[in-house]
Structure 1
């Protein structure tokens, strides 16, 4: 995908969805952090189902500490790996209270020091909560970036670096939302829906998919 194709690709996605948002439900930076931490290897729908109940009783780090790890685990037991996630989230809440005054830090280094928070989670928080131009490369973005030729890479870090280098600045803040949604609903893993893809004319793999 060349520079003009990339420009057209994102202009098309922007016209279709001018203000893309995460599908995780949250009402504060802490709720966002908790939801993203819980979303690893889980669907946003499943996470939202659990957090709708959890956040009613514990929507701050201190309230989650007061809840206790065992009760926290009960609230999220419908999510995969819930015991590990409960342990990590509880430990994260303790660090937030003891080291950050109960607030979610804005620096990547501080975010990645939290249990259960890796580079992808930190990127989501930095982007969604603080408006930074980061790329949280999940399986959808990795697939779309490679399949379309937008930002090929052998691993998530390579794809992230390629995206930051190749996506025009005007699209950077919203780009990861557009790519996730495109991968989730159109450029799907087993069978990409090329016949309903608005950006098929810019895709390097479209001829292979019989779309041209």
Structure 2
């Protein structure tokens, strides 16, 4: 896909939604971090149901630590990989509370050293909280980027590198959310809704449907 077409696609997304937001529900930086950790291999809808109850009980690093592993595990048992996530959340909460004075680190290396925080989660935190021009690539972003031919890659690392190269700085803060929402509701894995697609005329997918 050429530069001009990419710019038109991004401009259309911007016109439709100039300030896209994650569908995760949170009211603090720490709540967002926990929500993103919980969202791995789970839907935002499921995570929001869990955190709605959890955050009423504990929503700070200290309160999560005091909640303890057993109670936390019970609170998040409806999310995928809940045992591993519970342990990671306890450990990460402890580090944030007592090593980083309750603050979410504004540093990729430190973020990725936290249990349960990988590159995708770090990118989301840096982008959403600290307004860094990072682009997180999840399954939706990976699918949309490849299917449309916007930024093809064999794995998420390849797609991230390509997106960082071809996306103008003005759009880097927003493209993750645009592609996530587009992949979640329009350019879905199974039933592609081409008839509802904002970028239908610009998309280079060989199997487009009307």
Same fold (TM over 0.5): yes
Who is 2:83 aligned against?
83
Who is 1:13 aligned against?
13
Who is 1:195 aligned against?
195
Who is 2:154 aligned against?
154
Displacement of 1:125: 0.5
Q: How many residues align?
A: 210
What secondary structure sits across from 1:110 in the alignment?
helix
* Aligned residue runs from structure 1 range 120-135, under 5 A: 120-135=120-135
Displacement of 1:97: 1.8
Summarize the Cα distance change of 1:208–1:93 in structure 2 as closer, same or farther, 3 Å threshold.
Answer: same
Give me the whole-angstrom Cα distance separating, in 1, the residues matched to 2:98 and 2:207. Answer: 54
User: Quick check: 2:195–2:209 contact (8 Å CA) kept in 1?
Assistant: no
Give me the whole-angstrom Cα distance separating, in 1, the residues matched to 2:100 and 2:52. Answer: 25
Who is 1:101 aligned against?
101
What secondary structure sits across from 2:59 in the alignment?
coil
What secondary structure sits across from 1:202 in the alignment?
coil
Give me the whole-angstrom Cα distance separating, in 1, the residues matched to 2:97 and 2:48. Answer: 24
Give me the whole-angstrom Cα distance separating, in 1, the residues matched to 2:130 and 2:45. Answer: 23
Displacement of 1:194: 0.8
Instruction: Specify every segment of 5 or more residues in structure 1 that has no aligned partner in the other structure, as ranges.
Output: none
Give me the whole-angstrom Cα distance separating, in 2, the residues matched to 1:165 and 1:100. Answer: 33
Give me the whole-angstrom Cα distance separating, in 2, the residues matched to 1:161 and 1:202. Answer: 22
Displacement of 1:78: 1.1
Who is 1:51 aligned against?
51
Q: Which moved more, 1:166-175 or 1:151-160?
A: 166-175
Query: TM-score normalised to the size of structure 2?
Result: 0.98
Asked if residue 209 in structure 1 is aligned to residue 208 in structure 2, the reply is yes
* Aligned residue runs from structure 1 range 130-149, under 5 A: 130-149=130-149
* Aligned residue runs from structure 1 range 24-35, under 5 A: 24-35=24-35
